[in-house]
Copies of this chain bind each other. A is one copy, B any other.
Amino acid sequence: MIAYRAPLQDLRFALHDVLNLQGHCAKLPIGDACNREVSDAILDEAARFAEQVLAPLNASGDAEGCHFDASTGEVRTPQGFKQAFAQFAENGWSGLTAAEEDGGQGLPEVLGAVFKELVDSANLSWGNYPLLSHGAVNAIKHHGEAWQQQVFLRPIVEGRWTGTMCLTEPHCGSDLGLLKTRAEPMDDGRFAIFGTKIFITGGDHDLSENIVHLVLARLPDAPAGTRGISMFVVPKYKVSIDGVIGARNSVRAGSIEHKMGIHASATCVMNFDGAEGWLIGAPHKGLAAMFTMMNAARLGVGIQGLGLIERAYQSALSYSRDRLQMRSLSGVKAPDKAADPLIVHPDIRRMLLTCKSFAEGGRLMTLHAASLVDLVEHGDESTRGEADSLLSFLTPIVKGLLTEAACECTYHALQCFGGHGYVREWGMEQLARDARITTIYEGTTQIQALDLLGRKVIQQQGIGFKQFLGMIVDFCSQHAQVAELATFVAPLAQAAQDWQQLTLEIAQRIQRDPEELGAAAVDYLFYSGYVTLAYWWARSVAAADRSDLATRQAKRATAQFYFKRILPRCHAHAGAIRAGAESLMTLDAALFD
């Protein structure tokens, strides 16, 4: 097992040299209070926590898994998880980006995203426990009544309580319109919830004093489908409206899943047997409220993808430098050794550079998206609206691309190890198993793709798309005269133009045949992701040209690789899209076998 090291140098490059963190903070209430010294201190402390507290629990947590006591419905997390969570809460990580009025530190989401990347690289399963607390805070803050905010926010922000999202049921995952869980009004404004939810991350555990479930259910008079869904807050232990914890509520884990990976993350079947809760937001408007939480969670899962890519890359790089196997094709490189290190071989480099380009480019994608979250929350009126539409557009791209890339990169990184990658010892196979959930939960890649193409591009007339294209065009015209950037700026400008053209074509196709939407969506998601990453790589090179020689060389060579070997994948995706729905829809369902 190769020890995890937080990529502090690249994080600082991204935050300061590319994204201008200080300029960003100036637009937020925190302003100068979040200066370089503060952010450096946070990075160092976050690195220490991830490297020293969480990373050592990753393999052991995987091997041990969670324990379920069927007689009580209680889940016990693997050894060390509880202590790590206590440190996390004590050290204020839990409220890093929460409002000061709720007990948080009011720091920007950009730094929250940095912390999350480090956590997910170190220990993805552990990172799932606080993940949904963040979303629960958002949902209650935006949709809850004043007393609900009073009661629920501070304990969650302080890490004494945690949150969950209860959406999926046995017969419905992607299609929430089918959900059956029902809420019956009680006479005191509370509701009794009945139903079964599955795949509930952190549905039960031993890390916090209380667990606050945000549950989608139907009121008695609810219309069918997605317009009849309301959101309820249902705590594990009942809470009075003045915040006092009371008796055990009738919500219990019925079992935990045995999964391919994230063994240390408890995935629960949750039985609501008349559990008492309160309505959050307006009746029948639960899905919209849940999306406040969901979007944050989707970005969070995108960051999980990034964290896994970075971890896989580091390990494969280290192994490829140490492991001696065969001689270089262009002559002996390490004459004093029995063979050359793996890293001399071109295909090992191809796999490493694929990981590196996704990790460093993906880091900018996630940090930029997080900066938009800051602007949506704290920007002035006009900034807020623009940031919101841009963020809506980018969220499915971040989630979709980086989770698919995590599967690809953990694949490559494992391959660098050969047979040693397939055994537990080096930790590579765990990364591959853990990565596999990220393209599924919080909306599959297919759902992200339909959200991107159907909702964000077609229904919303591409507001966010146009904004992002504008950013690319601006960058390209600002740098059009810089000779050293020509190899990046010209193909980026072309890619942006092709993207726009392809989008128009797809819109026309969809007008003729609605199946074209589903037939194009996933390829369009990848296409969009690759162009987005190309933009961040071009910006990285431009920023690195103001940096030291080593950074300049590394960023240029990696960007070159990206533009020559990854970006051209767009052609294959465009080709698939232009093959149209016919190539998918012709075969009668009865004739597939």
Contact = CB atoms under 8 A, between A and B. Distances in A.
Contacts of A444: 415, 418
A487 to B, nearest CB: 11
A561 B583 contact: yes
A339 B259 contact: no
Nearest to A518: B346
Interface string A496-535: 0000000000000000011101110110000000000000
A352 interface: yes
Contact of A557 (B171, B550, B587): B587
B579 A564 contact: yes
Contacts of A420: 173
A251 B260 CA distance: 35
A353 interface: yes
A557 B584 CA distance: 8
Contacts of A172: 325
A441 B423 contact: no
A249 interface: no
Contact of A554 (B168, B449, B571, B587): B587
Contact of A592 (B343, B439, B522, B581): B343
A560 B584 CA distance: 9
A583 B560 contact: yes
**How many copies altogether?**
2
Interface in A328-350: 328-330, 338-339, 341, 343-350
Interface stretch (A48-56, A182-190, A362-370, A428-436): A428-436
B514 A330 contact: yes
Nearest to A267: B423
A433 B571 CA distance: 31
Interface of A is mostly: helix
A347 B449 contact: yes
B554 A591 contact: yes
A446 B349 CA distance: 12
A41 interface: no
A353 B584 CA distance: 8
A513 B330 contact: yes
Nearest to A7: B593
A324 interface: yes
B422 A411 contact: no
Interface residues of A, number: 99
Nearest to A557: B587
A436 B429 contact: yes
Among A168, A557, A569, the most chain B Cβ lie within 10 Å of the Cβ of A557
A196 interface: no
Interface in A425-472: 425, 429, 432-433, 436-437, 439-441, 444-446, 449
A173 B565 contact: no
Contact of A591 (B407, B521, B553): B553
A178 interface: yes
A199 B588 CA distance: 45
Nearest to A9: B593
Contact of A560 (B411, B437, B554, B586): B586
A326 B326 CA distance: 53
A11 interface: no
A346 B421 contact: no
* Complex A-B, nearest 9 residue pairs according to Cβ-Cβ distance, in ascending order: A346-B518, A260-B429, A557-B587, A564-B579, A346-B519, A564-B583, A568-B575, A572-B572, A329-B514
Given A259-B429, A422-B440, A432-B436, 7 more contacts: A174-B325, A199-B419, A257-B422, A258-B425, A330-B513, A349-B585, A418-B440
